[in-house]
Structure 1
Amino acid sequence: MASITFASAKQLRAIAEAIGEFVDEINFDAHATALTAQAMDASHICMVSLSLATSLFSSIQGATQVISDFSGFGGPAPTTLGIHVPSLIRVLKCAGPDDSALLTSSGDTLKLAFMTDGDERSADVELKLMLIETEKWSCEERSTEATFRMSSSLFARAMKDMSTLGQRVKFELSSDELALTCDGTIGRARMRFKSQSQSQMTCIEEAQASFSLKALVSITKACCLAEDVTLRLVQGMPLRVEFDLDSISKLQYHLAPVNDDDDVVHEEEEL
């Protein structure tokens, strides 16, 4: 049996909603010091990667145990929790705005207990776990990537504005700015974001690529989780959109580029 206490059930719900923009099913792996998850959307356009350090938890106990009722899990492996994300979101809506959330796995069931300070209110809900077969993908560091950090609210506004004009947006990262260009049926828009400091931008090698605005707007669902977002781009590689939940914990999206010469519905390349 493994148990994890989140100090904020509201934050956990926001994480689940951000993941649920792309996937319905995901495996959460509870290690002794972290909770991790990774999943690809059905079209293989976007991979979601999550790593939550213990700094986001009130406590984490028994995380080196496995779910004994699930076959295929054995040895000193982390506890794997197969979650139906829409169901988790519905369950988390039962929590109050200031509740903590205690998650306990037992067999094929995940028990969620929501509590407020002073024990004025508590609620218990059970969620059926799933046995999800999935691949593991590596997320290697890319030494030549260009990076740009901006406020999450500014990123969300830019993606929303661009999506009113077209279906795709071109990212261009140069030595001193990020440029976004959208050519749509009703017109053309171009936005430029200048680097204000060396820590805000690094450009070892300039890069440009186009991406689906529908997917990028879905990614902005995570903007409520962090003040800033970091964009990481290597020519010909997926765009990495990274939200730092604290100094260690991260939520990342790896979005495949699209081909400017084709329609968006046909152009999205698999990761």
Structure 2
Amino acid sequence: MFEAKLVQGSVLKKILESIKDLVVDGTWDCTSTGITMQAMDSSHVSLVTCLLQADGFEQYRCDRNVSISINLATMSKILKCASNDDIITLEAEDKPDNLVFKFESPNQDKQSNYQVKLINIDKEHLGIPDQEYKAVVKMPSSEFQRICRDLSQIGDTVTVECGKEGVTFTADGDLGSGTINLVQDASIDKEENVSVVTTEPCKLNFALRYLNFFTKATPLSSQVILSMTSDAPLVVEYKIENLGYMRYYLAPKMEEDE
């Protein structure tokens, strides 16, 4: 038997909103320590991983490891039937055919039950190697979302350049070019500040289309962490308070003229 009860049900709704447009079907692997999901987008350019720790749930039970494969758009539609302040419980048998959703209003005057049929998908679990990153940028997630959206008006690719002074985002296109420079403020450690830790300068190109997909996780966290190094995927991480994280991986774009 698998059961997971989340008092802040809105967090689960936000998680699905952040991945349903990037990944079609996903497998949630449930163990005694928590729930994980790893999936690639259909073009195999980006990878998403999600971790929800067992101790972040109000109640959590997983008698034996269970893999729950489900269409993520369908899961998102069902979660939209829950109010933002509802308590959400997920339930499944040890060899499940269905995933059960239970929605409960805070004062318990309304309870809803939904069952969704599970699907069979071939999943490959990719080992993500531990990586030393040459540049790690922490910045407000809303600012990163705005930058990706704004530079998409100019071009399809953003060049991210990190140095000791800060981080610069540049896009070029037929209309012209745009540059946004963020200077780090080390004097006060606040969430709205930008911090850049570099062991050596780093400059890489990424597809804005995918970064805009990633920024749909903005409601999950006030901060985003960008980890970069040459010849390795960019990691975009949103920590989910007291629960876990969403991480997105995106391979750099090679120079067009190489």
TM-score, length basis structure 2: 0.92
2:60 aligned counterpart, secondary structure: strand
Deviation at 1:117, TM superposition (A): 2.0
Are the aligned partners of 2:163 and 2:196 in contact in 1 as well (CA < 8 Å)? no
**1:103-142 pair list within 5 angstroms:** 103-106=90-93, 107-142=96-131
- In structure 2, C-alpha distance between the alignment counterparts of 1:224 and 1:215, rounded to whole Å: 17
- d(CA) in 2 for partners of 1:144, 1:217: 22
Residue 96 of structure 1 aligns to a residue whose secondary structure is: coil
Residue identity matched to 1:125:
Y
Amino acid paired to 2:102: A
| Aligned with residue 252 of structure 1, among 243, 247, 256 | 247
Structure 1 outlier segments of 4+, above 3 Å: none
Amino acid at match of 1:42: S
8 Å CA contact 1:30, 1:64 repeated in 2: no
Match of 2:165 among 170, 176, 194: 176
What SS class does the counterpart of residue 118 from structure 1 fall into? coil
Map of 1:35 onto structure 2? 35
Instruction: Please give the alpha-carbon distance, in whole angstroms, between the structure 2 residues aligned to 1:230 and 1:191.
Output: 17
Gaps of 5+ in 1: 66-77
Give the distance between the partners of 1:33 and 1:190, measured in 2 at CA: 44
- The amino acid of 1:43's aligned partner reads S
In 1, Cα distance between equivalents of 2:50 and 2:120:
19
Offset at residue 247 of structure 1 (A): 5.4
Q: Secondary structure at the match of 2:19?
A: helix
Change (3 A) 1:144 1:253: closer
The alpha-carbon deviation at position 248 of structure 1 amounts to 6.1
CA contact (8 A) 1:148 1:201 kept: yes
Q: What do you get for the CA RMSD once the two structures are aligned?
A: 1.7
**For residue 236 of structure 2, what is the amino acid of its counterpart?**
V
What's the counterpart of residue 82 of structure 2? 95
Whether 1:190 aligns to 2:179 is yes
Letter in 1 for 2:146: R
Aligned residue pairs total: 250
Give 3-state SS (helix, strand or coil) of 2:58's partner: strand
CA distance in 1: counterparts of 2:51 and 2:108, whole angstroms: 30
Aligned identity (percent) is 27
Contact 2:38–2:125 (8 Å) recurs in 1: yes
TM-score by length of 1: 0.88
In the other structure, the counterpart of 2:229 is 234
Check conservation: 1:168, 1:182, Cα contact below 8 A: yes
Return 5+ residue gaps in structure 2 as ranges. 190-194
